[in-house]
Amino acid sequence: MHQVTLTFDNGPDANVTPLVLDILARRSIKSTFFVVGSRLAAHRASTERAHAEGHWIGNHTWSHSIPFRDRGDSDFIRSEIDRTQDEIGALSHPDRLFRPYGGMGRLDGALNTKAVDHLAERHYTCILWNAVPGDFANHEGWVETALTQVATIGWPLVVLHDVHARAMQHLDRFLGRLQDRGAMFEQRFPVNCIAMQRGQRTDLLDSGIVAN
Ligand SMILES: [Zn+2]
């Protein structure tokens, strides 16, 4: 089997994030936590721990409420992106990782033209995804979905969420199944999920993800 990259979005959560960190530590797996700024402001300790343990910290908007396809004005863009980056502060990855809120995993319109210009100007690295097994909706059955998805993608970048305790009870079993199949966990991102690299646009932006 191939390499697999894991990311955990929408946290931090005071209870679930430490549980995820314990599981990753036991298996010596490094990942990225894309944090929601408003949650980080309330639960900073677990993100500090994630950073200290070698995980990367990325920006996943301040409010996680409205995709850029549905609201595209400059004030909203600045508050969603830069306010979160300020909150992350010294915990930031040097590449200033940002992941937009797609709304149920949707890629189309996850960005708009103004947001792309803003991310370019501020030298952000924009990371998308190619595997969304839906742990947020199917707390019990997501592992089978994830295993099926991972098997069909050359280098899967899996989106999971460190906010649903019931779903994350199955994380260790998922990781064990992957390791049994010979998966190699890779902290870096597959190039076909990188929409912008330190402000430089990539071809991925031409694939329908940018709304007007
Ligand atoms: Zn999210």
In whole angstroms, give the CA distance from residue 151 to residue 149: 5
Which residues of the chain are modeled with pLDDT < 50?
A: none
Output the six-digit token pair for 212.
């007007």
Helical axes 44-52 vs 16-26, angle rounded to 10°: 10
Q: 36 CA distance to ligand 1 centroid (A)?
A: 8
Cα–Cα distances (Å) from 41 to 8, 70, 116, 147, in that order, read: 17, 25, 25, 34
**Cα 100 to middle of ligand 1, angstroms:** 8
Provide the residues around ligand 1 (an ion) whose CB is within 5 A.
Answer: 9-10
CATH number of 3-211: 3.20.20.370
Instruction: Report the separation in Å between the CA atom of 139 and the middle of ligand 1, taken as the mean of its atom positions.
Output: 16
> Helix (H, G, I), strand (E, B), or coil: what is residue 152?
helix
SS (H, E, C) 157-188: EEEEECCCHHHHCCHHHHHHHHHHCCCEECCC
Query: pLDDT at position 135, please?
Result: 96
Predicted pLDDT of residue 1: 55
Q: For position 212, what pLDDT does the model report?
A: 87
The predicted structure's pLDDT at residue 24: 98
Domain boundaries, the chain: 3-211
* Cα 182 to ligand 1 centre (Å): 28
